[in-house]
Structure 1
Amino acid sequence: MVLPYIESIEAILVDLPTIRAHQLAMTVMNVQTLVIVRLRCSDGIEGLGEATTIGGLSYGEESPEGIKVAIDTYLAPALLGQNAANVLAAVQRMEKAARGNTFAKSALETALLDAQGKRLGVPVSTLLGGAVRDTVPVLWTLASGDTRRDIEEAEALLDARRHDTFKLKIGRRSVAEDVAHVCAIKRALGKRARVTVDVNQAWSESQAAVGIAQLEEAGVDLVEQPVPRAHRTGMARLAARFVIPIMADEAVQGPEDAMAIAREGAADVLAIKIAKSGGLYGALRTAAVGDAAGIALYGGTMLEGSIGSVAAAHAFATLPRLEWGTELFGPLLLVDDVVRERPAYADFSMRLPTGPGLGLAIDEDKLNRYRRDR
């Protein structure tokens, strides 16, 4: 039996406009840059992967341009000629070739899993042990910054049965202004929808104590990463002080962080992201730690396009418990994408594609239109 080997790896920068300005505590996005990976194997099978960051380097240590350099210069050379069907061996080679660079590694692991799923004729979720759900709940972020517009947008999405949980990105304005904005939206939506907030590390512990008390009183459902990620002791004090759940996002990069958070009681909920965990396997390891510690789980996003979002959905679909759903709305934020068919959203959820691998195919015309080096 001749084993398939990895023949070539291409990392392509793609710039896609967003449907509106997307405001976060650290930046305002009008364009999202994707790193699309095409991994070609000797048996003619191609695997697709994706890495994405939020606002270049404004979110974390990796940028799209840096991801491409890491793949082209270090990771791809370590994988070329290797057995394409042994995904875990390839993951180990990447760990030896480069430290960190979890976003780049996640894109390559995704491409390997996509190719293996196509090779065996099964979805990626089957390679991970099997899906326990065929849809994953998906929230929507209200990030215009305008209270009236955000309420109107939420009402329309509720009526269309597309989303019934809404996250508000806050932290750019004063605590009082942000809290007033959130409370007005929660009053308008009432019990018809969950409302959560993401502070993206923008508050000090004392600011968070004031803001969270008011948000809790208003009936807001969850507060995400209110203080800087390094301040786990502050997170633990806030989690012990309030009934409203506190979620760790930037503070959890992988299973080791999840273990430390569990040990210190620093969060009630963990945001699991395949990019931060170095891939789907790492994300499942992180989730297992949180689950074993009794911490609720949430499927996070780096605002990936269709390829990255569907890859994450395949992983999240295998989790026995996913109490807080997911935020895999990235494809909906983009004006266009580079796949032939984008994932389907209905009844407040994303439906998992049923085809082999990720269940997606590249649209060559769109890829050529949006690639940066065109």
Structure 2
Amino acid sequence: MKITRVEAIPFAIPYTKPLRFASGEVHTADHVLVRVHTDEGLVGVAEAPPRPFTYGETQASIVAVIEQVFAPEIVGLPVTDREGIRDRLERTVANPAAKSAIDMAVWDVIGKSVGLPVTELLGGYTDRMAVAHMVGFAAPEKMVAEAERMRAEYGITTFKVKVGRRPFSLDVEACRALREGLGDDVELYVDGNRGWTASEAARALRAMEDLDLTLAEELCPADDVLSRRWLTGQSRIPVVADESATTPGEVTRELLGGSAHAISIKTARSGFTTSQRILFQSEGMGAEVVMGNQVDGQIGTLCTVTFGTAYSSTSRRAGELSNFLDMSDDLLTEPLEIVDGTVFVRQRPGLGIDIDEDKLAHYRQDR
């Protein structure tokens, strides 16, 4: 079975409220639906969410690189030639979301061809993941209200708090309000999106020592090599590398260099094939992992759940799986559900993605 065509369809779905964080804010899901077609009629589907303020990709650039560079490289290859496909995609630098969507769509085709869920092909460890919800910048009382709503309506008890504002006292106040408002039976961790300097981060962490934070993610820029080592060396909270650890090589650099204790894996930027490498590298070096979120829609979230449930170490912690709740609509015929703070993986061939063609026609941007 060979690849015959690769589609890249831009679509836009508004958020009901913007998600604000240190490196930018998102008002609309300007994403790209990627479809990999084969000569046996099977079609694999995935989603590419551009994050220009983090990785430099835009919706237009994803469509262009897929249509002009990646599709010509992989059309004609056997769909099972995952390593050959990855090798051809990696000849082009950067473009992580575009590469990842193609990779996951290929896995979707393979799962459909053998009649098995992709999560079983990857590892098949469990059938569900606990959910962590990201709380973006807002006034403390609004952040508490959002977290309380997520706990009441969906049973979510793990919250990732966006920090990185200047002055950092704004974030300290918000985290304190969340702990006081939610009590001690919820997990709180913070993500700076590279917004602080190391000295600001150190002061903020000291000011929050009594809040029982479990993780501190990407508090300062990846290029601040010595400052990051200094911060990580003194932090009593495990430091997570996110944007600084997008490849196995970067994982090695961050862990051996003393700049991180744990690694965030995002299938939206490393697909399934490279995410496996990142996971196994992290496990081999004794580092914990967390399944992150690139402000994915339901399609991307389903991909995260597919990978996260496949392995013991990726399913151990709550995954960031809920931000699609802030989208005004989505493209799946069968929406994802969060019940008692949990999302179940879909036990059907491939990824279990069925696109509502009427909704796609409504939201697509190329017609």
Is the TM value for this pair above 0.5?
yes
Kindly indicate whether the alpha-carbon contact (under 8 Å) linking 1:186 and 1:220 is maintained by their aligned counterparts in 2: no
The CA distance in 2 between the partners of 1:94 and 1:21, in whole Å, is 33
Poorly superposed stretches of 4+, deviation over 6 Å: none
Choose which of 3, 9, 12 in structure 1 pairs with 2:9. Answer: 12
Percent identity at matched positions?
29
Mean Cα deviation higher: 267-276 or 71-80: 267-276
Change (3 A) 1:268 1:190: farther
Does residue 95 of structure 1 match 2:87? no
Kindly indicate whether the alpha-carbon contact (under 8 Å) linking 1:53 and 1:303 is maintained by their aligned counterparts in 2: no
The CA distance in 2 between the partners of 1:59 and 1:10, in whole Å, is 24
Does residue 310 of structure 1 match 2:302? yes
Does residue 178 of structure 1 match 2:171? yes
Kindly indicate whether the alpha-carbon contact (under 8 Å) linking 2:137 and 2:163 is maintained by their aligned counterparts in 1: no
The CA distance in 1 between the partners of 2:226 and 2:287, in whole Å, is 17
The amino acid across from 1:317 in the alignment is T
Q: 1:88: Cα distance to partner?
A: 2.5
Kindly indicate whether the alpha-carbon contact (under 8 Å) linking 2:158 and 2:318 is maintained by their aligned counterparts in 1: no
1:188 partner SS: helix
Give 1:31-70 correspondences, 5 Å limit: 31-54=28-51, 57-70=52-65
Q: 1:8: Cα distance to partner?
A: 1.4
1:30 partner SS: strand
Question: Which residue in 1 is equivalent to 2:105?
Answer: 111
Q: 1:106: Cα distance to partner?
A: 0.6
Q: 1:63: Cα distance to partner?
A: 1.8
Give 1:206-245 correspondences, 5 Å limit: 206-245=199-238
Q: Which runs of 5+ in 1 are unaligned?
A: none
Change (3 A) 1:46 1:360: same
The amino acid across from 2:278 in the alignment is T
Q: Which runs of 5+ in 2 are unaligned?
A: none
Does residue 365 of structure 1 match 2:362? no
Question: Which residue in 2 is equivalent to 1:122?
Answer: 116
The amino acid across from 1:155 in the alignment is E
The CA distance in 1 between the partners of 2:136 and 2:96, in whole Å, is 27
Instruction: Summarize deviations over 1:229-257 as a string: whole Å, max 9, x none.
Output: 12243222222212112111111111111
Kindly indicate whether the alpha-carbon contact (under 8 Å) linking 1:304 and 1:330 is maintained by their aligned counterparts in 2: yes
Question: Which residue in 2 is equivalent to 1:351?
Answer: 344
RMSD: 1.6
The amino acid across from 1:363 in the alignment is D
2:310 partner SS: coil
The CA distance in 1 between the partners of 2:274 and 2:128, in whole Å, is 21
Choose which of 172, 180, 186 in structure 2 pairs with 1:193. Answer: 186
The amino acid across from 1:42 in the alignment is D
The CA distance in 2 between the partners of 1:311 and 1:176, in whole Å, is 36
Change (3 A) 1:234 1:349: farther
Does residue 250 of structure 1 match 2:243? yes
How many residues align structurally? Answer: 366
The amino acid across from 2:12 in the alignment is D
Kindly indicate whether the alpha-carbon contact (under 8 Å) linking 2:13 and 2:28 is maintained by their aligned counterparts in 1: yes
Kindly indicate whether the alpha-carbon contact (under 8 Å) linking 2:218 and 2:239 is maintained by their aligned counterparts in 1: yes
The amino acid across from 1:260 in the alignment is R
Q: 1:144: Cα distance to partner?
A: 4.9
